[in-house]
Structure 1
């Protein structure tokens, strides 16, 4: 077969961006109206059947209407679906695959320091919850109770775990008898239920969510302190090395720490579209408070009874929501390459009705061979050979769903032994030789991750303001910034700051709540000047602390 026939000159195939009109279709969908619930009204969610015309693309702008933009992205990018129980949602494969890679990353880290996985039941007796009265007070309004089986009422209601201290520590008390039984390091991957009465935000605030919770016991505080920071470092690596999200590690205030714990360390992120901070993960030192409540003690080497020092630490599916909010744009989801279910889609281009079946197979086989070569070097690749959809619509479809890289393969490209590579994150297009794909694509995925992290880091830095005067504090918050300020660390002062920084007139799209302390960063911006006063009161400042309006 002649070369000219083998590689016919095809018409231009790179379609212009499709308009909303091109994609407008009529679909019938079930939408669940999440009724606001409170302890007085206890309204149930209504199931409303709505027939509407809607674009399959994103119609809201991230900078103009963040809430509706986020709702559109998570739905149309096939990340989440509604569910007929208020506050609960279905995690679709495009989202759950991200969680799978998070679990693999963290599980390997935990096991490297001797943490063992286990599983405890989700049910907990009221008696156990009441034993940790201080901690339980915070969770009491959110505990869901099972009160009957069939038509039989329980003599005592059974709670569903909001967290697992009361579930696990009675057993741990039996397991630990001697100093030889320490340290004990346990982790479980599970779900928890917190029947919140606030409006649900998928991934960020839902009545059921997935997480890992670690619980450990040590002979002394020094060992517990070391693990607290080690776990927080793993969490930070997960955000930065896997999800391309910068976070600020630090210590929570006394007001914001885990109830009943000795101290709490945290990772704080920033959502630029609404100027709100968000807690990414926490690692708590519980001290000996819970070991005394649940009688978790051991006999030391001197034959003396001692209570163990305990830690607890957790990382949740909230991280998926933070990822979506941080990286996505007005076209749809932008997925960090290392957690993408599929990293590369290969799309044949330039086909028309004039091409023979032999020519189609020739192009399809080249697409398949590219996929095979990429899979061989560890790239999660696939090809879209759907003949009933145009190449332009395929581009739009996979961009909306966040595939990091698209490879366009056409007859003219193959004639030049090259392909067009398109980067979802930046929109950039590159020409790469076929012989270099197996080497260049893995490197490109690393480059994309680094660029995504760098962009998010610049956004965080620009929007974190070092302030010394109260007159600058509220205007900075209103301009969607985080505030790093000298602070006295007193609970009463923090409460006063929250009251004084609440918007008097609510903003239609920006947060209006008062600022709270997010953390005292481990890395301080500078040393406090001698005699430096708190930004809010006349007390001496003890540190620079990060404040902001927060989820």
Structure 2
């Protein structure tokens, strides 16, 4: 499902010898993860102070991207490390606000499509997983098993869901009795557990994460395919309309598609700082593969008396979206939030309150600020006022910049004399004033300007770094220059695997744990729906120097998360 890993499942409960091997591997993975967690939480020393003791960001995004990212999400109060178990994170209110905005936006639109909300149990048995084992054998190491209840061993161990095909589809077989029941569309918002052995990173790779997973059934391939693209466009909308993040819509190659599915569509993002692609969300057509596994059939409406297996889709979007947004828009001061998903869109800070002012003057000034705040809120802006005592205006400016609030409003005696409010944009630092009489219209308009400018900036960066290349010698240099590439490709799976080896580079890059390592090879990101204007000439060969096959289409490759 979705944007994290292959679908659910694994073989049934293993033999004793296999179980011992699995336990040993799990212990090794745990030790590795705990070591990685220590690396994650190691603090730098800057100017004689620990980085944790410094309010602002202590490293440059360009120079130490991994450390910068982890400082930003921690200090901007998006996450907290869950120290009890490595690889788990606490999502704090600012992060949950972003997720809930996405949830509301997406939920409204899928309800309009006829998708209903559901909730299935989080545990599944080894027996149900057995049905899918041939499709997802590689997923077994990431399954978390419950083997005890209190001090008693369970007769049959149960797994914590890594996704829900095996949980849901037996009931689809029970509930779908006729073609008149189709389309059958359910979605649930939940968490899943995948016991990652790799380095974990907040939002991008965690052992438990939030997502939505939609599972639908249809009477025909055509109806299933129509929904696949409708959902994909909604995912693109989440990124582009809410998060101000451009994405490329496309189809995964056979190598990269959802295991056990018919085909996978995807939205792919790009991180300018390190030039990596990142999968944003996926919408899969499962074909009839799973309906055959779980015996989900209806009478064929075109052949009376004949039964057919339904066509199925699954689609998912996870909290990874938040990490993508942070990496693309953030800067050396901290978060930069798009206005549409920011809990506080505008923060009003009273300034110019000096020791020479009387108590009455200060009270009157704050009262005027409260009036302005009420007017801004009435215009539909999510605004707040910072009247915390004991902090200078400059300290407050830095604090709200760290948290990414899109617009800072300042109001002091000099502003009052001119009947204006001063503002500073978080995305560009641009400053100006707004007449008090125009607050109700100017502030919302300014926020929309910020939203569009953030998208345009990110879109420009992505387009400038999608290079169309027909000379193999230019591929690795393009990757080293932080680009993704569009190349003529044969779509052969073995050729695609070989390309990954051929494009490894000795250039040292910083990994998620902050350690330097040689650059990875590139892999296919997608076959873009929007192909380059230049058509592939008849007879053009696959760009791989070791391949003699004809090129089938332009494929976007890149180093990726």
Same fold (TM over 0.5): yes
* CA apart distance, 1:506: 4.1
Q: Could you tell me whether the CA contact under 8 Å between 1:134 and 1:259 is conserved in 2?
A: no
Give yes or no for the alignment of 1:266 onto 2:266.
yes
Q: Provide Cα deviations, 1:44-65, integer angstroms capped at 9, x if missing partner.
A: 4379898963321111111111
- Cα distance between partner residues in 1 of 2:538 and 2:274: 36
Cross-structure match for 1:149: 149
Give the Cα–Cα distance (whole angstroms) in 2 for the partners of residues 303 and 375 of structure 1: 62
1:398/1:265 CA distance change after superposition, 3 Å: same
Name the structure 2 match of 1:118.
118
Paired position in structure 2 for 1:408:
410
Distance 1:360 1:124 in 2: 63
CA distance in 1, matches of 2:197, 2:456: 37
1:525 aligns with 532
Question: 2:30, 2:86 within 8 Å by CA — same for their partners in 1?
Answer: no
Q: Within 5 A, what are the aligned runs for 1:25-104?
A: 39=26, 41-44=28-31, 45=34, 53-54=50-51, 55-84=54-83, 85-104=85-104
CA distance, structure 2, for counterparts of residue 510 and residue 547 of structure 1: 20
Q: CA deviation at 1:136?
A: 2.9
Asked if 2 retains the 8 angstrom alpha-carbon contact of 1:139 and 1:162, the reply is no
Offset at 1:385?
Answer: 0.7
Match of 1:25 in 2: none
Could you tell me how far 1:363 is from its partner in structure 2? 1.2
Q: Contact 1:185 / 1:215 at 8 angstroms: preserved in 2? A: yes
- Cα drift, residue 155 of structure 1: 1.2
Measure, in 2, the Cα distance between the counterparts of 1:127 and 1:354.
77
Q: How many corresponding residue pairs?
A: 515
Q: Mapping of 1:53-452 within 5 angstroms? A: 53-54=50-51, 55-84=54-83, 85-301=85-301, 302-452=304-454
- Rate the CA distance shift 1:75–1:40 in 2: closer, same or farther, 3 A: closer
Give the deviation of 1:303 after TM superposition: 2.8
Could you say which residue in structure 1 is the equivalent of 2:17?
A: none
**Which whole-Å CA distance do the structure 1 matches of 2:155 and 2:265 have between them?**
40
Whether the aligned pair in 1 keeps the contact of 2:30 and 2:197 (CA below 8 Å) is no
Q: Residue 558 of structure 2 aligns with which residue? A: 548
- Who is 1:15 aligned against? none
Alpha-carbon displacement from aligned partner over 1:450-476 (angstroms, at most 9, x marks no partner): 000000001001111100011111111
Query: C-alpha distance in 2, partners of 1:320/1:397?
Result: 20
Shift of 1:130: 1.4
Q: Deviations over 1:142-180 (max 9, x none)?
A: 111111011111111100111110010001110001111
DSSP-derived class of the 2:400 partner: helix
C-alpha distance in structure 2 between counterparts of 1:504 and 1:385, whole Å: 53
Q: Which runs of 5+ in 1 are unaligned?
A: 1-36
Is the contact made by 1:465 and 1:483 (CA closer than 8 Å) also made in structure 2? Answer: yes
* Inter-partner Cα distance in structure 2 for 1:111 and 1:361: 49
The match for 1:499 is: 501
Q: Any unmatched runs of 5+ in structure 2? A: 1-23, 44-48, 511-515
**Structure 1 pair 462–510 and aligned structure 2 pair: CA distance change class (3 A):** farther
Within 2, Cα distance between the matches of 1:382 and 1:504?
Answer: 50
Please report how far the alpha carbon of residue 504 of structure 1 lies from its aligned counterpart in structure 2 after TM superposition. 4.1
User: TM-score normalised to the size of structure 1?
Assistant: 0.91
